[in-house]
Amino acid sequence: MKRISMLLKLFSVFALIICISATYAQCDEGNIYGMRGQKTGIAIVKADSNGHHVVPTAAMTLPTFKGGNRAMCRYINKTKKYPINLKNQKISGTTTVQAKVLADSTLTDVEVISSSGYDEFDQEAIRVVKSFPKMIPSTQSCEPQDMIVHIPVTFIYEEEIEADKKKEELAKLEKEILKPITLYFENDRPDPRTTQETTNTEYMGLYNKYMAAKNTYVTNAGKNLAGTKRTEAENAVSTFFTDSIQTGYDRLVKFTNYLVDALQDGKQIEFTISGFASPLSNSSYNKHLSARRIESVLNYMKQAQGGVIAPYINGQKAGLTIHKIPEGQVNHSFSSNSTSETVYGLQAAKDRRIVINRISVK
């Protein structure tokens, strides 16, 4: 019996540890446009549903916005609309809203308890808090309970103007980033002479090896030519490395970094990634090769910034839809079987590619 009693005590202590809550601090995380200084956060008033003071214990957890305090700040800053009248007058202010987070996760009794002094600010703050998704309720000994929270919503004119500028910059940036991206490959890469449709190779490694082989491709492109034609062939391939292969990779890096930020901000993104091969092999082989090329680019994305995008690509997190289309070989033929044309030539280099397009962000 003593042993059972001791186990029960240990279990009770463990349950208390599980329920220990963290203290909330006022948010200073910056909004979705990278700004800092937005003093929007959640202030917990330890009170029961009747407003009576509650002494916190180790077994009490506090109401939580799904995703944490930073997610709540991001939600407020994305949702609130600065009243035009007050914006034109360059007026700032803070409204503190009180709400009751019920045990069933819903918010009720939303009201202003500290006015900004401007009805437009107060009404907008109430609207924003009322629009909150369900929150994680407070618990006492792991049992959900009602609790009152105070949520300050701040309107700062200078930051609103800065946010407007950031929005314009973001719109311009998106317009450029969301254009189709074309990436190029060495002959029969990745994983040559296989019929697999998947690969563990990632595109950055393939790109670096391709760029390192530039002189080989330039020299061999004009190998069977003479005079002006040889020079023209070599210059065309050299320019292609700089203007197309390198530029495509640089755009992939920017696009991938954009994906990280956009997905973490809750945006829904959809794009198509198509793979192509030169007509050097048969159609079936080229479809498998095109599929591997697509996978190598997705492998690069999965590894970027510590693997942030991987759960979205793997389907573990929602928000990213990718349509993979391994087209296979392009519809043309070479004028000769010389490797200077079929492997090192400019047209062959253009054939070996994947294209990211039809990019949609919501």
Domain borders along the chain are 21-165, 178-361
pLDDT of residue 329: 84
Strand 138-140, strand 60-61: pairing: antiparallel
pLDDT of residue 51: 61
List Cβ neighbours of 193 (8 Å cut-off, separation of 6 or more): none
Please report, for residues 20, 27, 51, 58, 104, the alpha-carbon distance to residue 143 in angstroms, rounded to integers and kept in the order given: 13, 27, 19, 13, 11
Q: What is the pTM of this model?
A: 0.62
Q: Quick one: tokens of 252?
A: 């992939």
Contact predicate 339/220, CB 8 Å? yes
Residue 223 phi/psi, 5° resolution?
-55, -45
Element (H, E) at 324: strand 320-329
Partners of 96 in the β-ladder: 114, 152
Give ∠ CA 106-13-103 in degrees, rounded to 5.
10
Each residue of 56-85: b (16+ CB within 10 Å) or e?
eeebbbbbbbeebbebbbbbbbeebebbee
Give ∠ CA 313-315-319 in degrees, rounded to 5.
75
Each residue of 155-181: b (16+ CB within 10 Å) or e?
bbbebbebbeebeeebeeeeeebbeeb
Cis peptide before 190 (omega within 30 of 0): yes
Strand order in the sheet with 143-145: 60-61, 138-140, 143-145
| Tens of each residue's pLDDT in the chain, 362 residues | 444 444 434 333 333 323 323 333 344 443 332 333 344 555 555 556 566 666 656 678 888 898 888 899 989 988 999 999 999 999 999 999 999 999 999 999 999 999 999 999 999 999 999 999 999 998 888 899 999 999 999 999 998 998 888 888 878 878 888 899 999 999 999 999 999 999 999 999 999 999 999 999 999 998 888 999 999 999 999 999 999 999 999 999 999 999 998 998 888 999 999 999 999 889 999 999 999 999 999 999 999 999 999 999 999 999 999 999 999 988 888 888 899 999 999 999 999 999 999 999 98
Residue 104 phi/psi, 5° resolution?
-90, 10
Tokens 């009152």 identify what position? 148
Give the right CATH number for 178-361 from 3.40.50.300, 3.30.1330.60, 3.90.1580.10, 3.40.50.970: 3.30.1330.60
Residues 231 and 218: their CA atoms lie apart, in Å, by 10
Please report, for residues 179, 301, 318, the alpha-carbon distance to residue 309 in angstroms, rounded to integers and kept in the order given: 20, 7, 11
Instruction: Read off the amino acid at residue 229.
Output: K
Contact predicate 43/26, CB 8 Å? yes
Residues 100 and 109: their CA atoms lie apart, in Å, by 6
Rg of the chain (C-alpha set): 29
Residues 79 and 95: their CA atoms lie apart, in Å, by 15
Residue 4 phi/psi, 5° resolution?
-65, -45
> 21-165, what's its fold?
TolA/TonB C-terminal domain (3.30.2420)
Please report, for residues 75, 260, 344, the alpha-carbon distance to residue 169 in angstroms, rounded to integers and kept in the order given: 21, 18, 41
Contact predicate 209/318, CB 8 Å? no
Residues 361 and 271: their CA atoms lie apart, in Å, by 9
Partners of 320 in the β-ladder: 269
pLDDT of residue 45: 55
Q: Quick one: tokens of 162?
A: 């800065």
